[in-house]
Amino acid sequence: MKKIIFYFCLLLFVSCEKQAEWPIQAEETPRIVIDGILTNESGTHSIHVCRTVSELNMTPQAVSGAGVIISDADSSWFLTEQPGNPGFYITKNNFSAKPGVLYTLLVTSEGTVYSAKTQSVPVTPFENLRYGKNPGESLYHITWVANPYNAIHPAMYEILLDWSQLPEYSTQDSASCTARLFYYSLPTLDVSEVFAPEIERIKFPAGTKITERKYSLTKEHVDFVRAMISETTWKGGLFDSAPANVPTNISNGALGFFAACNVITVSLVVQ
């Protein structure tokens, strides 16, 4: 009889639910968001300046006409707004961030100045990713990129897939024949990561060109990345973390992150 009473009480405990409304108050004035990564690769680098949104899947409002300057101890570079792409400010096409050099970002908009400082750390060599064939079909998928835990050399991996050049896909929209994926090796082990919700498995055919890029991460950049994916990719799993603001290195109440990374790149073709 005691067991029956215990089970009945337990059932009442776990099955009682009460609906609650949690009103979310949107900020009256959208905040500035500044985002950009400088790398050691020579080319055009961009800084994105926009405003926060109040609803999911809204297109951020671009901040046009801002003054954007990047400087180090010896030089300054004035970025120009990209034609036809408001809110994106670009360097000249031969800019590259030197390893270990401290860079300062200044963004001026509507009389307010926002600033941030960053410098890169060395990037370590990496193993090529691995892929495998899907059971029962001719398509492939990525099976391994990197260990999710690395206490000494955290990194971000950007994977670009492109099979638009294959003859059998020549009539399709090129955007449907490309994919961009991100993986991370972080110096922490999070239960929300281990039990994160499943993500879509990208399928691609033989002949796909894969470009793998590894970015070095500073400690401050790691903190930003970890908080960001805790609020996005890892959200909705069995062990959710409490919502919190994502840290930033940008002053004056702005959001986002300004980073410098050393990058190494390798390309391969799916055989």
For residue range 131-170, list pLDDT tens digits in order. Answer: 999 999 999 999 999 999 999 999 999 999 999 999 999 8
> What would the two tokens of residue 103 be?
């860079």
pLDDT band at 246 (very low <50, low <70, confident <90, very high): confident
113 within 8 A of 67, measured Cβ to Cβ:
no
For residue range 65-92, list pLDDT tens digits in order. Answer: 999 999 999 999 999 999 999 999 999 9
pLDDT score at 12: 41
Integer Cα distance of 47 and 80 in angstroms: 10
pLDDT score at 4: 44
In order of start, what are the domains of the chain with their CATH numbers? 32-53+60-118 (2.60.40.10), 130-245+261-269 (no CATH)
User: What's the average model confidence in pLDDT over 166-182?
Assistant: 93
Integer Cα distance of 3 and 212 in angstroms: 58
pLDDT score at 10: 40
As a whole number, the mean pLDDT across the chain is 87
Integer Cα distance of 170 and 56 in angstroms: 34
pLDDT score at 209: 98
pLDDT band at 24 (very low <50, low <70, confident <90, very high): low
pLDDT score at 192: 67
For residue range 199-234, list pLDDT tens digits in order. Answer: 778 999 999 999 999 999 999 999 999 988 887 776
How many other CB atoms sit within 10 Å of the CB of residue 98?
A: 13
pTM of the predicted model, to two decimals? Answer: 0.84
CB neighbour class for 111 (10 Å; exposed up to 12, middle 13-18, buried from 19)? exposed
pLDDT above 70: residue 8:
no
